[in-house]
């Protein structure tokens, strides 16, 4: 026994994830009397809405992926840990994370889980080797290598069929990411690469958008969807609606179009057809009586974004399922603000009953091509140049760091007013052994299933 | 038999390599009445002197690696082919290159071989898995991941010995690249990362430069070498001269210092100790009676940079061995200008006997840290801020593309006047499986030897 007084321990908040949800949660706790631990499996905060510009050679990785710990350097109450979360124990209030040979158990009083989502192949995980998604920096660099590499490979082949295959690009899924990446592949071929080859004509590349639903950008409604579709078609994109992908392999993909199976021979396939929430969602739901996950693995949270029986455990961002809240930056940021507000006001003792989370829909948008976007704010819908200007302003506002803003504007100036792209360099890894790598990956995925 | 007149065929020049030698050769043939084929195994022209800034998070890849075919888009007489050169036949005047399943045989009338050099491990190729070099874009991104990843890994370990090991960085070789990268690792730790961690203090990182010779920057002479060494020591770098590396493994390296074997436990090792010319050098020498390669595999060329018996085959850049010409950009560019001049004037029929190649030494320089460089122009030697300004001006002048110049200046402004670095993002590939990947690579290298 000792007579020394025990120093009152600070309230400990653990945040999982460094996306919009996790980063904004940490930022909003800057002046709170708490200790924050942010655990993430990347060292950067990824500005996911511009990832397609990394994949298509417009922006560099650094511009959209600043280091999380540098952003939070002045948040003296926050520590940032690189690690893979291996366990969450709601009962004992601990998070276990791993990095290399090291394992750490971090206790929490409040937990904010913002672990996000990854690409979903709807049970066909072996598609991934041939049709990577667009979720991480690694994905984007991989796709940049594949897209630019396909033009190089087309330039050198002597087989006409193979040349056509290498110049065919298919994007699966016509959500915002799919629309944006397909538009940029078309503009890359038509503008940036035009005249840079001697055997092929890059402007003859076939760029195809495949979507199972009957419309482009389904959540934005038929009017804007049609507008986006028309614009895509005008810049040369073939839009195939009501078309399901039934198989993907190295040589191309098989689709079901109006009930009929068809082959599309193509070198580059991009998958942006659906998302699957982080497995941490299930891990949490299993420990909470009466909390379920939805089909995409997202946690169906209480009105205060917590899980049943654990008012100190918030699930936000792409990992939470709340009717009417889309899996976009706005939803994650508002969730982060809401959760940290509850924590802060309850610590001050000033809180009564929690008011339920209310999502303020600030609208949604997607760029189709240079100078053209579609935009929906409440009941207002518009497209074209004005929507593109709105897109420009909004994305600049949310990019982290003034240096990144300046360089991004400058890069856009080059690409959209001119036709240059600053980041066309690809690494050597893929160029010479692509097929072997893809197929060995697919085999290990198949093994994992079987 | 046909009566149609045969159109006079244009003189065909094949260039191998897209570095300074290859790119400048293609550029200098822009207005010549020849057909140019440039074959390279990367799609970009690499501005190698700034590669260390990619490795240490200052510049993005795009800034120093513009796409070769975009640079040469307006050279209507030039085609650019991605491919690995698998054969050169001096007798039949053909170059065979491969890409994926495709092989092409390109005939030439004149050949300019500028295939460059790679890192040399002096027969210990299994070192490479643990101590990558600094020759390609892949190398630089690999090192960026290792350097920044080591700080992250140090932050999370609970073992004091392991923390120290992860915070120890060793650069092997004190040539310009070694000096520049070691200086930037020190400044990264002391300035950019200071205050961004909670458990470790990045400014306590141990940064070591190991050199077998008795001086830093041996070719620049004792005075500038000492100047650079003093400056490195002032920013916290330990300089170990007369020190040979005898072994490298995952945990660190073994050195022989003053005849005594010592261990340095360290996570990050960078190899910049020597170069080995492309194997194409040997391939050419074998086909030319009386032409030899030197110890580093470089072709000992005739006074006109050709090989004996083949006045149409020029070897330039890091692949050529000419006494007094260092393996630097200047040598490669001057070789390209000389070779293309011979080709052009002989085509015009205006040439007499070839005058031997004369290298104009425009000087050499190396940056040690921000605001400090060493510079040698003829007999003039100077160091410090003035040399740094000279470095700045010269590198800007040679960077390709005005966009890259503007962004580079802006990035330097951020890094050298401020302390930020724009490109701290690392890919996920290395973070979680580093040891396994390194060791499996080393094993395959060992197997290749045994």
A263 touches chain B (CB under 8 A): no
A137 touches chain B (CB under 8 A): yes
Q: What CA–CA distances, in Å, run from A171 to A167, A367, A409? A: 13, 15, 27
pLDDT tens, residue by residue, B325-381: 988 899 999 999 999 999 999 999 876 889 999 999 888 889 999 999 999 988 899
Asked if residues B365 and B382 have their Cβ atoms less than 8 Å apart, the reply is no
Given this model, what pLDDT does residue B435 score? 61
Interface probe with B: pick from A43, A142, A437, most Cβ of B within 10 Å: A43
d(Cα A238, Cα A169) in Å, to the nearest integer?
A: 10
| Nearest-by-Cβ selection for A428 from B42, B79, B100 | B42
Provide the 10 A C-beta neighbour count for residue A291.
Answer: 21
A431 touches chain B (CB under 8 A): yes
| Nearest-by-Cβ selection for B138 from A41, A424, A427 | A427
pLDDT range class, residue B446, cuts 50, 70, 90: low
Q: How far is A195 from chain B (nearest CA, A)?
A: 6
pLDDT range class, residue A437, cuts 50, 70, 90: low
B201 touches chain A (CB under 8 A): no
C-beta atoms of B43 and A69 within 8 A:
no
Q: Which chain B residue shows the shortest CA-CA distance from A79?
A: B198
ipTM of the complex in this document: 0.90
C-beta atoms of A67 and B424 within 8 A:
yes
Asked if residues A340 and A34 have their Cβ atoms less than 8 Å apart, the reply is no
Which residues 75-94 of chain A have a CB within 8 Å of chain B?
Answer: 79-84
Indicate the burial class of B238 (C-beta count within 10 angstroms; 0-12, 13-18, 19 or more): middle
Asked if residues B54 and B61 have their Cβ atoms less than 8 Å apart, the reply is yes
* Chain A residues touching residue B41 (CB < 8 angstroms): 428, 431-432
Q: Which chain B residue shows the shortest CA-CA distance from A137?
A: B427
- Lowest mean pLDDT across A208-217, B73-82, B386-395: B386-395
B351 touches chain A (CB under 8 A): no
Asked if residues B114 and B317 have their Cβ atoms less than 8 Å apart, the reply is yes
d(Cα B99, Cα B119) in Å, to the nearest integer?
A: 23
Q: Which chain B residue shows the shortest CA-CA distance from A80?
A: B197
Asked if residues A207 and A186 have their Cβ atoms less than 8 Å apart, the reply is yes
Catalytic sites of A, residue numbers:
180
Q: Are strands A206-210 and A168-172 parallel, antiparallel or unpaired?
A: parallel
pLDDT range class, residue B1, cuts 50, 70, 90: very low
Q: How far is B10 from chain A (nearest CA, A)?
A: 17
B234 touches chain A (CB under 8 A): no
| Nearest-by-Cβ selection for A410 from B81, B406, B427 | B406
pLDDT tens, residue by residue, A72-86: 999 999 999 999 999
d(Cα A91, Cα A307) in Å, to the nearest integer?
A: 13
Which residues 7-46 of chain B have a CB within 8 Å of chain A?
Answer: 41-44
B344: number of CA atoms within 13 Å, CB side?
16
* Chain A residues touching residue B203 (CB < 8 angstroms): none
Read off the tokens for A381.
């819908």
C-beta atoms of B104 and A156 within 8 A:
yes
| Nearest-by-Cβ selection for A423 from B43, B60, B104 | B60
Given this model, what pLDDT does residue B450 score? 43
Residue B171 DSSP SS3: strand
* Chain B residues touching residue A404 (CB < 8 angstroms): 422
d(Cα A230, Cα A93) in Å, to the nearest integer?
A: 53
Q: What's the rounded mean pLDDT across residues A375-402?
A: 87
Q: What CA–CA distances, in Å, run from A414 to A58, A195, A417, B65? A: 9, 17, 6, 17
A377: number of CA atoms within 13 Å, CB side?
8
Q: Is A206 left (phi over 0), alpha (psi -120 to 50) or beta?
A: beta
| Nearest-by-Cβ selection for B61 from A100, A199, A423 | A423
C-beta atoms of B195 and A73 within 8 A:
yes
Q: How far is B75 from chain A (nearest CA, A)?
A: 9
Inform me whether the pLDDT recorded for A243 exceeds 70: yes
C-beta atoms of B62 and A60 within 8 A:
yes
| Triad B247, B248, B250: Cα angle to 5° | 145
C-beta atoms of A43 and B152 within 8 A:
yes
pLDDT range class, residue B434, cuts 50, 70, 90: low
A323: number of CA atoms within 13 Å, CB side?
1
* Predicted TM-score of the model (pTM): 0.92
| Triad B239, B243, B249: Cα angle to 5° | 100
Q: What's the rounded mean pLDDT across residues A215-240?
A: 95
pLDDT range class, residue A450, cuts 50, 70, 90: very low
Given this model, what pLDDT does residue B131 score? 94
Q: What CA–CA distances, in Å, run from B117 to B60, B76, B316? A: 23, 29, 11
Given this model, what pLDDT does residue A395 score? 86
Q: How far is B402 from chain A (nearest CA, A)?
A: 11
Alpha-carbon torsion A17, A23, A27, A30, what sign?
positive
C-beta atoms of A403 and B426 within 8 A:
no
d(Cα A325, Cα B289) in Å, to the nearest integer?
A: 76
Q: Which chain A residue shows the shortest CA-CA distance from B158?
A: A102
A427 touches chain B (CB under 8 A): yes
Q: What's the rounded mean pLDDT across residues B60-65?
A: 92
Closest CA to A304 of A272, A264, A345: A345
* Inter-chain contacts counted by CB atoms under 8 A, chains A and B: 175
C-beta atoms of A431 and B66 within 8 A:
no
A152 touches chain B (CB under 8 A): yes
d(Cα A128, Cα A439) in Å, to the nearest integer?
A: 11
Q: Which chain A residue shows the shortest CA-CA distance from B80?
A: A197
pLDDT tens, residue by residue, A101-149: 788 999 999 999 999 999 999 999 989 989 999 999 989 998 999 999 9
Q: What's the rounded mean pLDDT across residues A241-262?
A: 94
| Helical packing angle, B329-347 and B20-28, nearest 10° | 30
* Chain A residues touching residue B195 (CB < 8 angstroms): 73
Q: Which chain B residue shows the shortest CA-CA distance from A39?
A: B156
DSSP for B62-102 reads HHH--BHHHHTTT-TTEEEEE-EEEEEETTTTEEEEEETTE
Rg for chain A (alpha carbons), in Å? 23
| Nearest-by-Cβ selection for B157 from A62, A102, A404 | A102
pLDDT range class, residue A1, cuts 50, 70, 90: very low
DSSP for B368-402 reads EETTEEEEEETTEEEEEHHHHHHHHHHHHHHSSSH
pLDDT tens, residue by residue, A83-98: 999 999 999 999 999 9
Residue A261 DSSP SS3: strand
Interface probe with B: pick from A40, A42, A62, most Cβ of B within 10 Å: A62
Q: Which chain A residue shows the shortest CA-CA distance from B151?
A: A82
Asked if residues B305 and B114 have their Cβ atoms less than 8 Å apart, the reply is no
Residue A257 DSSP SS3: strand
Average pLDDT of every residue of chain B: 91
Q: DSSP state, B9?
A: P
Which residues 93-112 of chain B have a CB within 8 Å of chain A?
Answer: 99-100, 102, 104
Asked if residues A145 and A430 have their Cβ atoms less than 8 Å apart, the reply is yes
Asked if residues B87 and B280 have their Cβ atoms less than 8 Å apart, the reply is no
Contacts of B216 (CB under 8 A, 6+ apart): B174, B179, B209, B225, B226, B228, B229, B232, B239, B241
């Amino acid at each position: 026994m000792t007579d020394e007084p025990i120093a009152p321990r600070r309230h400990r908040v653990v945040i999982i994830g460094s996306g919009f949800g996790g980063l904004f949660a940490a930022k909003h706790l800057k002046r709170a009397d708490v200790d924050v631990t942010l655990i993430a499996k990347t060292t950067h905060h990824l500005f996911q809405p511009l990832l397609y510009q990394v994949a298509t050679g417009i922006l560099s990785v650094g511009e959209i992926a600043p280091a999380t710990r540098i952003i939070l350097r002045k948040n003296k109450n926050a520590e940032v840990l690189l690690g893979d979360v291996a366990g969450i124990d709601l009962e004992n209030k601990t998070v276990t994370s791993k990095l290399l040979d090291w394992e750490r158990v971090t206790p929490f009083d409040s937990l904010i889980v913002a672990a996000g989502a990854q690409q979903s192949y709807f049970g066909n995980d072996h598609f991934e080797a041939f049709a990577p998604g667009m979720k991480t920096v690694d994905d984007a660099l991989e796709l940049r290598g594949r897209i630019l590499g396909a033009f190089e490979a087309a330039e050198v082949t002597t087989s006409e069929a193979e040349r056509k295959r290498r110049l065919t690009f298919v994007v699966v899924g016509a959500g915002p990411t799919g629309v944006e990446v397909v538009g940029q592949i078309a503009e890359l071929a038509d503008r940036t690469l035009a005249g840079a080859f001697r055997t092929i004509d890059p402007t003859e590349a076939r760029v195809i958008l495949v979507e199972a639903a009957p419309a482009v950008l389904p959540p934005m409604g038929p009017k804007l969807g049609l507008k986006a579709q028309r614009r895509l078609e005008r810049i040369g994109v073939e839009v195939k609606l009501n078309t399901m992908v039934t198989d993907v392999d190295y040589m191309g993909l098989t689709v079901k179009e109006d009930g009929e199976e068809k082959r599309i021979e193509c070198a580059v396939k991009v998958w942006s057809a659906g998302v699957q929430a982080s497995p941490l969602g299930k891990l949490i739901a299993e420990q909470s009586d009466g909390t379920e996950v939805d089909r995409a693995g997202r946690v169906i949270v209480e009105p205060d974004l917590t899980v049943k029986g654990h008012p100190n455990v918030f699930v936000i961002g792409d990992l939470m399922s709340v009717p009417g809240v889309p899996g976009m930056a706005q939803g994650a940021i508002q969730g982060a603000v809401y959760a940290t507000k509850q924590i802060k006001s309850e610590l001050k003792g000033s809180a009564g009953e929690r008011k339920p989370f209310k999502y303020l829909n600030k609208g949604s948008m997607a760029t189709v091509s240079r100078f053209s976007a579609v935009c929906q704010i409440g009941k207002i819908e518009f497209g074209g140049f004005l929507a593109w200007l709105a897109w420009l302003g909004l994305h600049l506002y949310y990019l982290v760091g003034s240096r990144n803003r300046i360089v991004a504007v400058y890069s856009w100036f080059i690409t959209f007013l001119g036709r240059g792209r600053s980041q066309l360099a690809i690494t050597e890894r893929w160029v010479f052994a692509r097929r072997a790598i893809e197929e060995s990956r697919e085999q290990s995925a198949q093994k994992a299933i079987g």
